[in-house]
A and B are shown apart, each in its own frame.
Chain A
Amino acid sequence: MNAPSNRPSAEGEKQEQPMKHHCEHHAECIKKIQAILDGEATESEKEHFRLNMDKCMPCIQTYHLEKCIKEALNSKVLRKPCPENLIATIKTKVNS
């Protein structure tokens, strides 16, 4: 978004990597991002995420998208309470 992709490398030792606008292993990255958001990532996945997350625009966008979808499922999908009469029926049948 803000970093030019072909900045002249006149900065000597400084290893400022340009922002990537294409991810060559994006399908794998999506799996890692999902595991991170699910709290199920391995240590090496977390490490990979820490090192690369802010350098790849498709992955940054994916992270936000996956997070939004997960939150939408969790908070927007209506959860109905179990009908009272069903609870009563179960209790009666168990007791009979």
Chain B
Amino acid sequence: MSEAPIKEGYSDDKRYEVFNREFMPHIDSMYNFAFRLTTDEDDANDLVQDTYLKAFRFITSFEQGTNAKAWLFRILKNSFINDYRKKSKEPSKVDYQEVETTYNSEEAADATYTVDLRADAVQDLIGDEVATALNSLPVDFRTVIILCDIEGFTYEEMAKILDIPIGTVRSRLHRARNLLKEKLKNYAGSMGYDA
């Protein structure tokens, strides 16, 4: 907001400078996001590369001083939906809209729904188990948990990245966490916890 947007006429040097200063520091986060979305290293590589090349091409529409990480995540998410999800070999991924409809229709059940899982059972889980539970969620639910709990975005930033209202961020996150608890409960159960 405070700094002026880069003008079309900026020199190549300026473009590289902005690219390196604003975009490259987020490459590890971007790679991890891509890997969690695609669950495949080669696809993650392609997705990150496509995203960074797009970011460079459209660098004039990035406003310096604004949130570069959220801007990049938004491009990556859109590329994933447009280019990767379509050709994914996974059984047809659940569509955002479809997910919302399905779960909204279960609002009544949701009201009394709690997962019987204990905090100490979660503390005993190892990272791989948590990651596998996360990866097993439908991608739309996985996404909100990654953005919020792993990448630390605010609800407002998530709303911008995902193009949805904040209220939807909140409810989707709630449902995603209920699903995750179910998955974690299976691991805890297999470790001998009764809950």
A residues contacting B by CB (< 8 A) are 26-27, 30-31, 34-35, 38-40, 58, 61-62, 64-70, 72-74, 76-83, 86-87, 89-90, 93-95
Tell me which residues across on chain A come within 8 A of B53, comparing CB atoms: 90, 93-94
Number of residue pairs spanning A and B whose beta carbons lie under 8 angstroms apart: 108
B177: A residues at CB distance < 8 A:
34, 66, 69
Question: Residue of B at shortest CB range from A69?
Answer: B122
3 tightest CB-CB pairs across the interface, nearest first? A76-B127, A82-B31, A73-B149
> Cβ of B128: which chain A residues have Cβ within 8 Å of it?
78
Which residues in B have their C-beta under 8 angstroms from that of A77? Answer: 127, 130-131, 134, 150
A89 contacts across to B, CB distance below 8 A: 49
Majority DSSP secondary structure for residues of B touching A? helix
A66 contacts across to B, CB distance below 8 A: 177
> Is B161 in the interface zone, CB < 8 Å from A?
no
Cα-based distance from A66 to B149 in the complex (angstroms): 11
Query: In the complex, what's the smallest C-beta–C-beta distance from B79 to chain A, in angstroms?
Result: 14
Residues of B with C-beta under 8 A to A70: 149
**Do B114 and A68 touch across chains, with their CB atoms under 8 A apart?**
no
Q: Report yes or no: B35 in contact with A68, Cβ–Cβ below 8 A.
A: no
Which residue of A61, A62, A76, A87 contacts B27 across the interface (Cβ within 8 Å)?
A87
Known A77-B130, A87-B27; judge A68-B19 contact (CB<8 A): no
Task: Flag if B31 contacts A86 (CB, 8 Å).
Answer: yes
- At the interface with chain A, which of B85-93, B96-104, B105-113? B105-113
Taken together as a complex, chains A and B put the C-alpha atoms of A30 and B112 apart, in Å, by: 11
Residues of A within 8 A of B111 (CB): 27
- Could you tell me if A72 and B123 are in contact, using CB atoms closer than 8 angstroms? yes
Shortest Cβ distance from residue B122 to the other chain A in the assembled complex, whole angstroms? 4
Highest count of chain B CB atoms <10 Å: which of A35, A38, A61, A64: A38
Are A38 and B148 in contact, CB atoms less than 8 angstroms apart? yes
